Each structure stands twice: as structure tokens, then as C-alpha cells.
Amino acid sequence: MILKDILYKVAIEAVKGSTDIEVNKIEFDSRKIVSDDVFVAIKGTVSDGHDFIEKAINLGATVIICETLPNLIVEGITYVQVKDTSAAMAFMAANFYGNPSANLKLVGVTGTNGKTTIASLLYQLFKNAGFKVGLLSTVKILVDDKEYKATHTTPDSLTINHFLNEMAEEGCEYCFMEVSSHGIHQKRTEGLHFVGGIFTNLSHDHLDYHETFAEYRDVKKSFFDNLPKTAFALSNIDDKNGAVMLQNTKAKKLTYALKSYADYRAQILENQLSGLLLKINDQEVWVRLIGSFNAYNLLAIYGTAIQLGLENLEVLRLLSQLESVSGRFQFIVSESNITAIVDYAHTPDALENVLKTIEDIRTKNEQLITVVGCGGDRDTTKRPIMAGIASELSDKAIFTSDNPRSEDPEAIISEMEKGVEPQNYKKTISIVDRKQAIKTACQLAQSGDIILIAGKGHETYQEIQGVRHDFDDMKIVKELLDQLNK
């Protein structure tokens, strides 16, 4: 492909060399460079791509995209200076793959909690409706029926456009995509054509990356600010930031709620372990998902499906067929009648939602035992808050490791313990080894009791000191409960 065609819409500050040259592909990882590649020097949180320009040229790069021109200008190399290499790469990636998002109906889902559930269930609903569909989520990437492993909530812009292109070539009509605050801030979604955006909610998260809550909120808001007027913006108006997201958008403004007046409104008529009976815009529907947080998710899905042209009664029928997403309020009931629930809840708000959902459906004659940890190398301020919530809303709370990463797991647990109120001390146990913590919960549980294992959900690994070990909460709790039944 010709370089000047790839540079369409890129904000260029200076060019040294020719843009009328054929290039092979675009890379931002210097280790992957081969002959005639374009190297984009991205300033990351850990390293700066500008430090690897010389290495990229030695490996065969003929074009360098940078924010600062290097001191040494090599003869025969084209240098393109831009204001923001992340934004430039997003536009270049879209151009390189022929702007595939324009050939799909792409809907972005953003917010603290619910992104994976909404995107995954929209994929499921539209598949069940007979369409070819794509999914870009934390759990996995799907190109209709083909599955690929996901590594980030929002992949880099090259990966996004690569998969969108594959979706378009496979004949997919729709794509549902999780849009994280990191992805927005790092310009990974620049140059994409969205037909709609969904806002779920905003609560305490990612303050290790965003310095303040206001910055976190404003980054989310910028996604809606940039939607075109041909798109729709669907916001949870029960969340205090729901109206903020719609303030400056040019898109069609729509709302959903359980408590407020909204375009799409629901009432919970029944809430059981077997599902929810909802009244959505005056029509009743039974769904297999559980809890008020899922009522919000289902409303967002309902509103989106209507906006994308599906008929009202057909959407209600399809909602009733939806099955829960891996690691999102997944549960099993053992032979001895112990219910084990695995949920991804890794923020204070999500943990509280799950515990309150269990509170709504339990009889109060049973114990609720919660196993919870907090991730290492992430926002430390939420650790005591989560421990406080777990100990307050459970009969027994077991603090353990999540993904300690490079941190000392005992130090993480010590920070969690600081959030426990004195009256709840006797309800808590700290066990560093996560498997041992789950085993203890199983041993403490009696017939009728409920065990919640929070924090990791769909993840099938535990990261300790840079090494990923096989670890699947659902698989482990099932094995342990089966052993106790023997």
C-alpha cells in the first residue's frame, strides 16, 4: 500500500522524505519489524517507542512515525512527525485495512461495570436473530463463529482494525465492542465509525491510571462527545453521571432506567436464582439472568436492539433466550445443596451489587461466605473499601489473593483488612493461597449455604511475580465441592 494513502486524516506536522512509496505493514513493536514496514513510535506507560527508532530502521523499517524527530536522520528513510502517534496509528490502521468499521454496524459499550455482559449478550442476541456478528470483549474476540483470545479490554488500534476487517470480509453485519477508559485515553478507538454508544455506570476504578475520578469520567464522556449525529447514545440515567455523558454528544440521545423516567424503563417483578421477571416498557418478559444489575444490562440490550431495527416483540423473545456470560454471576449447586457463585466483581460497586443481589434472593436461613481478593499493581485505594463491603454484607468473608502480579499478596491483604469495621472483625479470615481460601469456604459451608467467589470471574489464570499459573475459580470450586460430597 502507498504511504500517502495510509496517512489520510493524520494530523501531520512535518515530513522528511517521500510519502509516495510502497510499504509492507504498520508496527509499533520494534521486535516485529521486517523489510519496508512502517514503525510508529508510541510513548507508552512503561517504555517510549522513540528509543527504538534506530533498532526499527536496522530491522528494515523504511518509514518512521514519531512525535519528535530523532537527531540522526538516516538517508532513504521517510520520517513523519505528528502531534500524537497513538491517534496517528489509529487513523493509519483504519486506512490500511480499508476503514472496515464503516462496513459494519459498530456499537461501543463503556462504563465501569457491565461492559462485557452487554457486549457479549448483544452478540448472543443478534446471533440468535440469525445475523452474522462480531464481538470485541475482555473475555474473547469473535468473528461470527470463530473465536480468538483477548488480551486487553480494548485492543490496540492495529488489532481492532485487523479483526474488524476480518468481520467485514466474513459478512458480519454487526460488531459489539467493549470500550475501556484506557482505550479511549490511548486513542485506540480514533478513526472508527460507531453507529451507537452505550453508557452503563461509573464507579471507583482505574484510579491507578487516571489521577482523579473527574478525569476518569471525562475520558468516558469524550467517547460520546465524538459520536456522529447519525449514531445513538444510550445512557443509564439512574447513574449520576448518566446525564453528563449525553451533555455534548451530537448523537441521538436516549436513556434507560429502573428508577427514573426514561426512554427504556423496567420494573423487577420477581428476582429468583432461576431468573428475573421484568416489565420492560409495559410488557412482561422472563429472563434467565439474575439481579438488578442484570436488569440494567438487559434494558441497555433491549434499547440497542430496538435502535438497530429489531421489532419489539422479537427483542423480548430473544431476551428470554439469553444465557449468562462466563464468570458473570455463574453458579452451580452441589449434591449437598451448596450454591457456589463465581463473579468478576473487582470494584467496590460491582461487589456490592452482587452481594445485594444474593441478599435479595436468599432466605436468610443460610450462611453467605464470600471469598475476595484485590489485584496487585492496580488501584490500591479500593482495597479497604472492598473488604469493608464483603465483611459487612456477608456472614463470613475470606480475604485472599487475586492476581498479586509483582506485589506481595500479604501486603495487599493487610491493606484490605484496614477497611473492616470493628463489629465485623470476627466474620473475617485471611488466607493468602486462593485455592486454600476456596477450600476453606467449601469446608465451612453446609447444606443450603451460598459461597461467592469474587474478583476473577472468567479468568483461567493467576498472575504471580510475572508468571501466569492455571487457575479457574469455577473449575476449582466445583472439584472441591465434588470431593466433599464423596
pLDDT at 210 over 50: no
pLDDT at 241 over 60: yes
Q: Do 56 and 122 fall within a single domain? A: no
* CB neighbours of residue 422 within 10 Å: 6
Query: Among the listed ranges 48-57, 214-223, 260-269, 392-401, which one has the minimum average pLDDT value?
Result: 214-223
- Domain end residue (candidates: 286, 301, 320): 320
* CB neighbours of residue 279 within 10 Å: 13
In tens, the pLDDT along 137-190 reads: 988 999 999 999 887 767 899 999 999 999 999 999 999 999 998 889 899 999
Per the structure block, which three cell numbers stand in for 109?
459499550
Residues flagged as binding site: 30, 111-117, 153-154, 180, 186, 188, 378, 402-405, 455, 459
- Residue 325: inside a domain, yes or no? no
Residue 362, domain CATH: 3.90.190.20
Residue 323 vs residues 118, 288, 298, 364, 402: alpha-carbon distances, Å: 12, 6, 11, 27, 26
In tens, the pLDDT along 74-113 reads: 999 999 999 999 999 999 999 999 999 999 999 999 998 9
In tens, the pLDDT along 434-474 reads: 999 999 999 999 999 999 999 999 899 999 998 999 999 99
- Give me the pLDDT at residue 178, please: 96
Q: Do 220 and 88 fall within a single domain? A: no
- Residue 240: inside a domain, yes or no? yes
- Give me the pLDDT at residue 204, please: 59
Interval 188-215 mean pLDDT: 81
- Give me the pLDDT at residue 274, please: 87
- Domain end residue (candidates: 295, 320, 345): 320
Q: Do 269 and 369 fall within a single domain? A: no
Tally of domains within the chain: 3
In tens, the pLDDT along 250-275 reads: 999 999 999 999 999 999 999 988 89
Q: Do 353 and 305 fall within a single domain? A: no
d(CA 158, CA 97): 9
- Give me the pLDDT at residue 206, please: 45
- Residue 438: inside a domain, yes or no? yes
- Residue 53: inside a domain, yes or no? yes
- Give me the pLDDT at residue 182, please: 85
Q: Do 104 and 77 fall within a single domain? A: no
Q: Residue 191's domain spans which residues?
A: 98-320
Interval 317-326 mean pLDDT: 94
Taken in order 244, 250, 255, 260, the sign of the CA dihedral is positive
Q: Do 263 and 378 fall within a single domain? A: no
Exposure string for 105-134, b = 16+ CB within 10 A, e = fewer: bbbbbbbbbbbbbbbbbbbbbbbebebebb
- Domain end residue (candidates: 71, 96, 121): 96
Q: What percent of the chain has pLDDT over 70?
A: 98
CA–chain centroid gap for 176, Å, is: 12
Q: Do 350 and 307 fall within a single domain? A: no
Q: Do 208 and 244 fall within a single domain? A: yes
Q: Do 50 and 153 fall within a single domain? A: no
Q: Do 228 and 287 fall within a single domain? A: yes
- Residue 374: inside a domain, yes or no? yes
pLDDT at 23 over 80: yes
Residues flagged as binding site for meso-2,6-diaminopimelate: 378, 402-405, 455, 459
- Residue 80: inside a domain, yes or no? yes
Q: Do 269 and 349 fall within a single domain? A: no
In tens, the pLDDT along 357-398 reads: 999 889 889 999 999 999 999 889 999 999 999 999 999 999
Residues flagged as binding site for ATP: 111-117
Residue 51, domain CATH: 3.40.1390.10
- List, in order, residues 6 or more apart from 441 with CB less than 8 Å away: 369, 371, 396, 398, 451, 453, 477
pTM over 0.85: yes
* Mean residue pLDDT across the chain: 94
pLDDT at 62 over 80: yes
Q: Do 74 and 208 fall within a single domain? A: no
